[in-house]
A and B are shown apart, each in its own frame.
Chain A
Amino acid sequence: MEHVSKSSVLQLGLLVLGALAILTAVEFTIALTINIWQVLAVIPIIKAMLVFYYYMHIYRLFEEDKDIDRESFAYKLATNRLGLWLFLISDSFIFGGLMISRINLLGLTRPELIQSLGLAVTVVLLISSFFANRAEVCMEYGDRKQFILCLSLTLGLGILFLIGVVGVEWRLAPFGPETNLAGAVFYVMTGFHAFHVFTGVVFLAIVLRNGMHGRYTSEKHWAVEASVVYWHFVDVVWFFFYPALYLIGTLVK
């Protein structure tokens, strides 16, 4: 394996954040101006692919290791990785079903929500993903202090996201789940997503605590990788849910 310097990997992480931020700014602008749903549907796909590759390092799934000792840590690590991705594939079907429901029930209309709040929580989650990636990279390079700092920031931003959506947006929305169809769709989508954010927060908190107690090393830190990859998945779901609820379509009262 070629030796890549820690600083260049961290730099790459920052570049990816930059790209994601730009794409988010673009979709927000398009939504407010020309609002072409086809464009707004493609941008999340690009964001997702960036995260799948650079943050979630999906390519690690395809590394050849047939000849490694089955009982070795490396082999079991790769098996765990497969298990995690299978779980994410399965989980994505729930979110897929929710998207289909939103499209079928609301079509090209969208609920009346607070745009600045929507953009804010999206940015918060995006930055949390950046720090999650940073934390994982630092752990890979044995920098425990930076790992703890970055993971703490991830955790804090994740909690901030929950406060923003469940604490604020849910309260301020001009409808309840029973008021109309837009309300029902909004609450069920953000509810399922928030539940996953919550479990992600719990997972990260456990990993942070164990990390602070020196449980993980640069060679053995599967829990860190797993919690961070799960966290990125939750962010990717939001890449799709955000435009679906906030950006695409015309307002329905």
Chain B
Amino acid sequence: MRKIYSIGLVRGLLWQILGTALGIGILTGIRYLMGLTAWKGESAAVFGALLGSLFFVYGIGAMDDWIKVAGGQEVHEPDESGWGSMRYFGVSLDHKVIGIQYLALSLVLMIVGGSFALIFRTELADTGMQFLTLMEYNTLMSLHGMVMIVGILVGVAAFMNYLIPMMLGARDMAFPRLNAFSFWLAVPASLILLSSMALGGFDTGWTGYPPLSARAPVGVQMFFLGVSLAGMGTVLSSLNIIATAIRMRATGMTGFRLPIFVWGSLATSLVSLTATQLIGLSFQMVMFQRLFGMGFFDPAKGGNPILFQHLFWFYSHPAVYVFVLPGLGIISELLPVFARKPLYGYKWVAISSFSIAIIGFLVWGHHMFASGMAEYLRVPFMYSTLLVAVPTGVKFFSWLGTLWRGKIEFPVPMLFVLAGIVVFLIGGLTGPPNATIATDLHLTDTYFITGHFHDTMFGGYVFPFFAAIYYWFPKMTGKRLNETLGKVHFWLMAPAFIILSTVMMRTGLLGMRRRIADYDPELYLVQDHVVMTVAGFLVAVGILVFIINTFWSLRRGEVATGNIWNSRSPEWQVPSPMPAHNYDRPFEVVGEPYDYGLPGSVYVEFKEE
């Protein structure tokens, strides 16, 4: 029994249950003492869930050292070398462990969110409601969106936390305890998000617009709370990334000698550090409207539903750049390795990430062209939105320049990189029709948008994410993922996905609205829907092959302890799996990161101790 309790995750969950029950009790007690009707399910659920999440992070031990410091004690980082594989289930301060924990959580969330999609895609294969109720459909569709978003945020955190200290030559992140805390906060946040299904579900879509969300079932409160908590984790994680990238660099690593992935991560983190607070605020304001009757978005009290949309999209648009900038950074990082050529126009690529991030703050209104927002805002937002295409184009042209006259090889990571480029291209090209207001009036709230963002998400995140896993798996484990299975995964997933998103856009143009559980037979789109459902399942099969590959390779994968990709990057100059504190000797940056093809050039030189 004690052995089970010693597992962090178990402890955390037990404490979460305790905290939830306590929270429900306390809230009920307070209401009773205040002379109100003691039992109010919605309030009790919210307070219980909130307290439960705090108890989780306490119970798992993510706050232990801070509590000690508050008590006046000294704290030291533990020696985790003898901890074994169980440390992945509890608090570890090692950024590599945390990175893999984030990775595991993101895969779980993507599989859960993806399964929701498979369920409702099955329902949508024909008109009429086959096996889902309307509330079940709306809940699954809404959760698919938000679970995927949280999964992406967590996956982005996985790669940033795993790679950045290694790429910088640091032994760990600037704030290791904050790193662990940020990760473990995401676990109860995800559980709370999913618990919405048990509390009546909700029918608002992931965007949660009031007044609809103000009158949705109680499940929507779990949705709002789960996202707020996940958002807090993102903010803290971003803080850590920025501090690490600024403060923990090896000697000689000036700005334009940073790995390009770090540039992308910095740009991302600037956005997620700041803008994330706005989705939290907007969701909390709806929570308060429901709990305390505050009429922010209630027209009957003079409130303004469109205010919500401004607050919400002020985060949620830059958020999509948070989702893709790291992945685009991965593409930029890996192309030089597989083309054996410098990253073409490295400085311009580095700056383009920041340009995208900054311009990305100024475009949110393009989600609201049909909303009834102030007329004078529409055209400026169109201009700013179209402007984002310019730094994005710089990246594409740079990638072409990197491939041109290279000596290109095609191991599985490269396949996913190339697919990422192609799919992100399609996604990016379908942006301008959405940006010009007149055409957007036809497109908004249709499957055209759904196709557009699935393309950008898969191209900017999912495919680079898989590329990164296949590429750095040896660094994490000392073994390679099986190449053949990897190719099967790729050739199932990439063509199927391209078909899926293309058909989405076609149906949208022809009248297929978003977020509908059922559609008009007179649209004559049943065939398209069947194609989309089959394609979706093929994508899932591809991912299943990947999961099998992962488990198989962890046990029996081909040993790969050296610099199998012949990369110049520092982490590949030491054996795999990566040693405990990364580098036993410090290194100095003496050359450019991507000078492939320049004889005798070296990026880093390890110092003699």
Main secondary structure of the interface of B (DSSP, over half): helix
B347 CB-CB contact with A under 8 Å? no
B128 CB-CB contact with A under 8 Å? no
Does the CB pair A180–B302 fall under 8 Å? yes
B578 CB-CB contact with A under 8 Å? no
User: Measured between alpha carbons, how far is A178 from B290 in the docked complex, in Å?
Assistant: 10
User: Measured between alpha carbons, how far is A176 from B291 in the docked complex, in Å?
Assistant: 13
Does the CB pair A93–B174 fall under 8 Å? no
Does the CB pair B294–A82 fall under 8 Å? no
B307 CB-CB contact with A under 8 Å? yes
User: Measured between alpha carbons, how far is A183 from B301 in the docked complex, in Å?
Assistant: 11
A177 CB-CB contact with B under 8 Å? yes
B328 CB-CB contact with A under 8 Å? no
Contact with A along B274-318 (1 / 0, CB 8 A): 111110111001001100111110000111100100110010000
User: Measured between alpha carbons, how far is A183 from B289 in the docked complex, in Å?
Assistant: 12
Does the CB pair B273–A178 fall under 8 Å? no
User: Measured between alpha carbons, how far is A75 from B278 in the docked complex, in Å?
Assistant: 33
* Shortest CB distance A24–B (Å): 27
- Contact A180 B239, CB 8 Å, known A82-B246, A97-B278, A188-B288: no
User: Measured between alpha carbons, how far is A181 from B72 in the docked complex, in Å?
Assistant: 45
User: Measured between alpha carbons, how far is A61 from B75 in the docked complex, in Å?
Assistant: 26
Total interface residues in chain B, CB < 8 Å:
40
* Shortest CB distance A30–B (Å): 28
Does the CB pair A178–B293 fall under 8 Å? yes
A39 CB-CB contact with B under 8 Å? no
Which residues of chain A are within 8 angstroms of B274 by Cβ–Cβ distance? Answer: 89-90, 93
Partner of B294, one of A79, A87, A89, A177: A177
B235 CB-CB contact with A under 8 Å? yes
Residues of A within 8 A of B (CB): 70, 75, 78-79, 82-83, 86-87, 89-91, 93-94, 97-98, 100-101, 104-105, 176-178, 180-181, 183-185, 187-188, 206, 209-210, 213, 215, 223
- Contact A178 B277, CB 8 Å, known A70-B248, A83-B239: no
- Contact A86 B294, CB 8 Å, known A97-B281, A101-B307, A181-B303: no
Does the CB pair B174–A97 fall under 8 Å? no
Which residues of chain A are within 8 angstroms of B276 by Cβ–Cβ distance? Answer: 90
Partner of B307, one of A104, A180, A187, A215: A104
12 A-B contact pairs sorted by A residue (CB < 8 Å): A82-B243, A86-B242, A90-B274, A94-B281, A97-B282, A104-B310, A105-B302, A180-B295, A184-B294, A184-B301, A184-B303, A215-B72
B519 CB-CB contact with A under 8 Å? no
Q: Closest 6 interchain pairs by CB?
A: A178-B293, A184-B294, A93-B277, A97-B281, A79-B247, A86-B239
Which residues of chain B are within 8 angstroms of A223 by Cβ–Cβ distance? Answer: 69
Which residues of chain B are within 8 angstroms of A100 by Cβ–Cβ distance? Answer: 310-311
Partner of A184, one of B243, B273, B295: B295
Q: Please, which residue of chain A has its CB at the minimum distance from the CB of B302?
A: A181
Q: Please, which residue of chain B has its CB at the minimum distance from the CB of A210?
A: B72
Which residues of chain A are within 8 angstroms of B280 by Cβ–Cβ distance? Answer: 94
Does the CB pair A87–B311 fall under 8 Å? no
Does the CB pair A206–B239 fall under 8 Å? no
Q: Which of B131-174 contact A (CB under 8 A)?
A: 174
User: Measured between alpha carbons, how far is A210 from B274 in the docked complex, in Å?
Assistant: 32
Does the CB pair A177–B293 fall under 8 Å? yes
Does the CB pair A178–B304 fall under 8 Å? no
- Contact A90 B295, CB 8 Å, known A83-B175, A100-B311: no
User: Measured between alpha carbons, how far is A70 from B171 in the docked complex, in Å?
Assistant: 11
Contact with A along B236-250 (1 / 0, CB 8 A): 001110110011100
User: Measured between alpha carbons, how far is A78 from B314 in the docked complex, in Å?
Assistant: 32
Q: Please, which residue of chain B has its CB at the minimum distance from the CB of A206?
A: B70
User: Measured between alpha carbons, how far is A100 from B240 in the docked complex, in Å?
Assistant: 28
Partner of A177, one of B175, B238, B277, B292: B292
Does the CB pair A181–B247 fall under 8 Å? no
Which residues of chain B are within 8 angstroms of A101 by Cβ–Cβ distance? Answer: 285, 296, 307, 311
* Shortest CB distance B74–A (Å): 10
Does the CB pair A91–B303 fall under 8 Å? no
Contact with A along B248-277 (1 / 0, CB 8 A): 100000000000000000000000011111
Which residues of chain A are within 8 angstroms of B301 by Cβ–Cβ distance? Answer: 180-181, 184
Partner of B277, one of A78, A90, A213: A90
Does the CB pair B292–A178 fall under 8 Å? yes
User: Measured between alpha carbons, how far is A93 from B303 in the docked complex, in Å?
Assistant: 22
Which residues of chain A are within 8 angstroms of B273 by Cβ–Cβ distance? Answer: 86, 89-90
User: Measured between alpha carbons, how far is A83 from B176 in the docked complex, in Å?
Assistant: 12
Which residues of chain A are within 8 angstroms of B174 by Cβ–Cβ distance? Answer: 79, 83
* Shortest CB distance B181–A (Å): 13
Does the CB pair B293–A93 fall under 8 Å? no
Does the CB pair A90–B311 fall under 8 Å? no
Does the CB pair B295–A178 fall under 8 Å? yes
Of B248, B282, B292, B303, which is in contact with the most chain A CB atoms at under 10 Å from its CB?
Answer: B292
User: Measured between alpha carbons, how far is A78 from B289 in the docked complex, in Å?
Assistant: 42
- Contact A90 B239, CB 8 Å, known A104-B307, A180-B302: yes
Which residues of chain A are within 8 angstroms of B275 by Cβ–Cβ distance? Answer: 93
User: Measured between alpha carbons, how far is A97 from B308 in the docked complex, in Å?
Assistant: 11
Of B72, B293, B307, which is in contact with the most chain A CB atoms at under 10 Å from its CB?
Answer: B72
Which residues of chain B are within 8 angstroms of A184 by Cβ–Cβ distance? Answer: 288-289, 293-296, 301, 303
Does the CB pair A105–B281 fall under 8 Å? no
Q: Please, which residue of chain A has its CB at the minimum distance from the CB of B288?
A: A188
Which residues of chain A are within 8 angstroms of B282 by Cβ–Cβ distance? Answer: 97
User: Measured between alpha carbons, how far is A215 from B274 in the docked complex, in Å?
Assistant: 34
Contact with A along B487-520 (1 / 0, CB 8 A): 0000000000000000000000000000000000
User: Measured between alpha carbons, how far is A87 from B232 in the docked complex, in Å?
Assistant: 11
User: Measured between alpha carbons, how far is A94 from B293 in the docked complex, in Å?
Assistant: 21
User: Measured between alpha carbons, how far is A12 from B303 in the docked complex, in Å?
Assistant: 46
User: Measured between alpha carbons, how far is A91 from B274 in the docked complex, in Å?
Assistant: 8
User: Measured between alpha carbons, how far is A47 from B292 in the docked complex, in Å?
Assistant: 34
* Shortest CB distance B164–A (Å): 15
* Shortest CB distance A199–B (Å): 13
- Contact A188 B239, CB 8 Å, known A83-B174, A180-B302: no
Which residues of chain B are within 8 angstroms of A183 by Cβ–Cβ distance? Answer: 294
User: Measured between alpha carbons, how far is A187 from B314 in the docked complex, in Å?
Assistant: 23
Does the CB pair A87–B285 fall under 8 Å? no
Does the CB pair A97–B295 fall under 8 Å? no
Which residues of chain B are within 8 angstroms of A177 by Cβ–Cβ distance? Answer: 288, 292-294
